Every structure is written in C-alpha cells, then in structure tokens.
Amino acid sequence: RKEVEQDPGPFNVPEGATVAFNCTYSNSASQSFFWYRQDCRKEPKLLMSVYSSGNEDGRFTAQLNRASQYISLLIRDSKLSDSATYLCVVNSASYDKVIFGPGTSLSVIP
C-alpha cells in the first residue's frame, strides 16, 4: 500500500458544482496535513493546512479523520480557475517523511 493515496481522477465538473477529494495515508504517526494545488507543471502552491477540527477558507473546506486515516477537500461553487491538480501532503515528525500524494486532476467545465 502506498503511503499516501488519492482519488484517481480526473474529475470533470461543471462550473458551480461541488466536488470532493479524498486522500488516505498509511502512517498513523503522521502529524500534519496540507492541501496544495499545482497548475500545469508549475510549482505546487499551498492551498490550506488541515486541522484536526476541520477548517474552511472561502469555498474550500478541509477535514481530517485520524481514526480512518484520511483527509478530504471540498470545493463548493467550482470556478474555471479551480482547474488544477490537487496534492495531498502528509508530514510525520521527521522531514524525510514528508510525503506528497500523486495528485488528483480537476477540470471545471464552462
């Protein structure tokens, strides 16, 4: 089993739709979690950190479920500009265990 797995995608959704991505991780000692977005071979950019209590940033909501070892990202009211690859990142206590998921591709269609 891979250390971090994501929904295979690609997700093709119409503008205005709500879309959710899941990410599972295998290391129960993982301590911090993030979502990044990456546009077409550009650098990954931090979208949001994921906190134990769940957190929201505008149209984006992130959730953490430690018992089931997954995190999720919900995007409401999708915009064309949301089209990108979304990377799930899991940190353990040591830096050599910073694991980037393979990414889920999202295309928002007019």
Partner 1 sequence: DAEITQSPRHKITETGRQVTLACHQTWNHNNMFWYRQDLGHGLRLIHYSYGVQDTNKGEVSDGYSVSRSNTEDLPLTLESAASSQTSVYFCASSAGHPNQPQHFGDGTRLSIL
Query: Is the Cβ of residue 36 or residue 78 nearer to partner 1 in the bound state?
Result: 36
Burial of 41 (0-12, 13-18, 19+ CB in 10 A): exposed
Q: DSSP letter for 16, please.
A: T
Question: Measured from the CB of residue 44, what is the shortest distance to partner 1 in angstroms?
Answer: 5
Question: Measured from the CB of residue 14, what is the shortest distance to partner 1 in angstroms?
Answer: 28
Query: Is the Cβ of residue 39 or residue 77 nearer to partner 1 in the bound state?
Result: 39
**95: helix, coil or strand?**
helix
Query: Is the Cβ of residue 45 or residue 79 nearer to partner 1 in the bound state?
Result: 45
Cα 91 to chain center, whole Å? 14
Question: Measured from the CB of residue 74, what is the shortest distance to partner 1 in angstroms?
Answer: 20
